[in-house]
Chain A
């Protein structure tokens, strides 16, 4: 290869990693570029991104090998044919280390593949690597990971959000054409909002939880994280589907989200919940919300003021239900069967040492909270009460959706904050999830779409909440906002 052609290839490659998922899929199909070229391009940008700390495990050699084989076989039938994708390290991947961002699983290599990643691979995609996340998905800033905090492309000192912070950062920085995360209380939507990307939490039961390291089973849901709404529709379609191995998975037809995607939303009724106008909310968030309303009006939507009256109880209820389930889900990490094991004089001491060494502070805090709220004498006052609140929040949404087709809110109460700013104050950290948590408690689908910037030019997202299993409507509404907001990545690359 002479200098000129390799230079041309380099240019082409760097351009590829800036393309959307949809363009890459189509480009491979039309043979504008090969799967190998695509893969090389993302590997190249990934390798230069160590400062972002997005990868826990790199599968670059294997990915390159697969891409070469793909180019030989040229099987374009899948929705994601020939596309390398890095995923949150909460999805179990066969023969590839899966850590959940925790020391206790730092050496765990599953012999099985999660249903959701299997779905991606059967659509022609392949694994590029495993992305950093908050330990067991517990966190809103990616600071709780055993593998160190992830940085936001929008600023070296900024968190990318969490828990899918590695995914959001890698996506925003062009290290993967798209990615998948999990969302228990906002873990897809909040980092999407912080990094100017699109993050969708599907309806609970839409995507199988089989093979995803569990945090809070009744809230966890996997979803797509992408650079555009169009990509989100495509990836959602590829990853969702009924799975008999997950009893909470729902056997409902998957729409063709991509071909149904339209910005023609005229006549749709959009609810604006007054309870989401919280105290001390920065005016720029309020302004963004108003802008969102204007965009949707412009597209022909009808705006309605609604009330979700139990919203203020969502966060406390969430921080009872989620830790309760987590305290039980994480009991299996005991050093007996796999993962980290510390020594001890007897079984109990081995447990104590293993779990003391293996879990970080935030995980320990939630195990303690969860154990407390389930313990006898406190169960009724906390867990049972929280479940009742949860029902009331669900009822609020049910009532609202009799009058409206979707609900518009800000995704987060602020833009990305600084690393270390909230890590000593769990409550202020938890407040970050104030707009996202009610959705998980109700099992509804919601999407965060980038819609503007704050005064420091940091991205801000708007959230659209849909009816159960109506992902299509919120995708369409997001498209309408995306077209009007005309959001552009405006960071300057500082990490190479």
Chain B
């Protein structure tokens, strides 16, 4: 396989430009209750039905840390091969907004719970390491709704206080594609860990995208703009593309970039200014006096480390080493936890290479066609596994297997039953096969003579006739052997 080379550069009027991207990903912690209260975090409930006195900022209410959310963020940190800080601090980020009932968000500023780590991306041009700057815990705000009434705005506090992990990357990303891979990898790691469901439609994963540009070869970073709150990978890619080009145009026409916060307009496919650096909030961060500094026990971290599941990178390595898969195949199989779970279920007692082919070619074709996720697969891993076992044990041929696979798609039927019911078992009895072959030979004496006189290509004709006579059920290998003997 020829390795591609990284080639995402933008050609401006004058120069060739490189795009520098850093992401602040907000990942909702998978937990039953909120970061500082016992309210439920269930998505899609009636507005303001999951709100405690703490979440709504009533007088005298105090936050109490949810230990489970702490453990979830430690696990995520470990999954990012990051340093877990034994001492971290919750700070207040002060600003006024109607959906921020306390008038401040509890977050972590100077001392986050997780320090530097990394994420490995398998790009078409090789692996690339993306640095993680930090991960910190914070609470989400509520939701302001401006389009339900011409006069008034509504506030839904169900989200208020829900735990978020803010995962800040280093400015190591260089293209929309790398951002795409990075988000998917991050999401995959968190799904393996069970720390975030990564559901972008429900807002469980969203990102602020920092973009700057510099001419190729320049070592200095340019001035960056932050695109706030982008909630799909496609939009991130579009926003980066637009923003990079906007910045290049400005720079090439001799203007400068203002450091500012911008919004991505999905309808116009463009970004627009939200606020400049001068208008930036002064959040007046200070340690939240209602919460003691968070001091973690090293034993807890060791325990969580031991309990860590196998993560995509490790799994991939194992699949390559132990299952003899290519890096490409392994990547596909580990890309989502559900796919690797499916694969590992299928390979129980059957050929791994064959299983990989059936999953990544046949099954994925069906899923793509029907627009289904692997979790919604019409064929269960168990049934696919027994289909493959019938192939390797010679009970059915590969060709018959494809027919059976087609039939399995309705109601996830057991392939054994289909084969039995329809009499599709492969004919592997040498005596029976011999009878068919003898009959074919006696019917085609002229062709036999031609074959024997040197037209060896006719061998295929005899195989075809035998297969036809057996209605495709004859074991091709045995047919070959017997035919060769008979024709000598």
Give A contacts to B, CB under 8 Å: 92, 98, 100, 105, 108, 110-112, 114, 209-214, 216-218, 244-248, 324-325, 327-328, 330-332, 334, 336-338, 347, 351, 371, 374-376, 379, 383
Contact = CB atoms under 8 A, between A and B. Distances in A.
Contact of A110 (B59, B62, B98, B286): B59
A105 to B, nearest CB: 7
B354 to A, nearest CB: 57
Contacts, number: 96
Interface in B55-76: 56-65
Contact of B64 (A108, A111, A247, A325): A247
Contacts of A327: 94, 284
Interface string B62-102: 11110000000000000000000000000010101110011
Closest 3 CB pairs of A and B: A331-B103, A217-B289, A218-B289
Given A375-B284, A383-B286, A332 B101 contact: yes
B286 A374 contact: yes
B289 A211 contact: no
A246 B286 CA distance: 19
B32 to A, nearest CB: 18
A218 to B, nearest CB: 4
A351 B64 contact: no
A105 B59 contact: yes
A110 B60 CA distance: 10
Contact of A214 (B59, B98, B153, B284): B59
Contact of B59 (A100, A325, A379): A100
A291 B294 CA distance: 47
Given A334-B96, A336-B155, A92 B284 contact: no
B53 A112 contact: yes
Nearest to A214: B60
A328 B104 contact: yes
Interface residues of B, number: 30
A337 B58 CA distance: 8
* Max chain B Cβ within 10 angstroms of own Cβ: one of A209, A245, A328: A328
A211 B153 CA distance: 29
Contact of B103 (A105, A328, A375): A328
B289 A110 contact: no
A210 B98 contact: no
A110 B59 CA distance: 8
A247 B290 contact: yes
Contacts of B92: 328
Given A110-B58, A112-B53, A248-B290, A334 B103 contact: yes
Nearest to A91: B60
B328 to A, nearest CB: 50
B64 A244 contact: yes
Interface of B: 53, 56-65, 92, 94, 96-98, 101-104, 153, 155, 282, 284-286, 289-292
A446 B285 CA distance: 31
B292 A247 contact: yes
Contacts of A218: 289
Given A328-B284, A331-B104, A351 B96 contact: yes
B62 A247 contact: yes
A408 B289 CA distance: 29
A357 B219 CA distance: 55
A408 B96 CA distance: 45
A76 B101 CA distance: 43
B244 to A, nearest CB: 30
A307 to B, nearest CB: 29
B288 to A, nearest CB: 8
A160 B60 CA distance: 25
Contacts of B60: 92, 110, 114, 209-214
A331 B98 CA distance: 11
Contact of A328 (B64, B94, B155): B94
* Max chain A Cβ within 10 angstroms of own Cβ: one of B62, B98, B104, B290: B62
9 contacts: A114-B60, A214-B59, A245-B62, A247-B291, A331-B104, A336-B155, A337-B101, A374-B284, A375-B282
Contacts of B64: 244-247
A15 B94 CA distance: 53
A245 B52 CA distance: 13
A331 B292 contact: no
A111 B56 CA distance: 13
Given A111-B53, A217-B290, A247-B291, 7 more contacts: A92-B60, A114-B60, A327-B284, A332-B101, A337-B56, A337-B57, A337-B58
A337 B101 CA distance: 8
B102 A332 contact: yes
A111 B59 CA distance: 11
B59 A213 contact: yes
A336 B101 contact: yes
Contact of A347 (B56, B58, B98): B98
Contact of A376 (B63, B97, B282): B282
Given A337-B57, A383-B286, A332 B103 contact: yes
A76 B56 CA distance: 39
Nearest to A387: B287
Contacts of A98: 59
Contacts of A108: 59
* Max chain A Cβ within 10 angstroms of own Cβ: one of B101, B153, B289: B289
A332 B103 CA distance: 5
A324 B104 CA distance: 13
Nearest to B153: A347
Given A92-B60, A213-B60, A331 B290 contact: no
B285 to A, nearest CB: 8
B463 to A, nearest CB: 79
A336 B289 CA distance: 24
Given A328-B94, A331-B103, A338 B58 contact: yes
Contacts of B97: 347
B59 A332 contact: yes
Contacts of A347: 97-98, 153
Nearest to B64: A247
A231 B98 CA distance: 46
Contacts of A217: 289-290
A244 to B, nearest CB: 7
Contacts of A110: 58-60
Contacts of B289: 216-218, 248, 325
A331 B59 contact: no
Nearest to A219: B289
B234 to A, nearest CB: 32
Nearest to A92: B60
A374 B56 CA distance: 24
B127 to A, nearest CB: 40
A486 to B, nearest CB: 40
A212 B289 CA distance: 15
Nearest to A90: B60
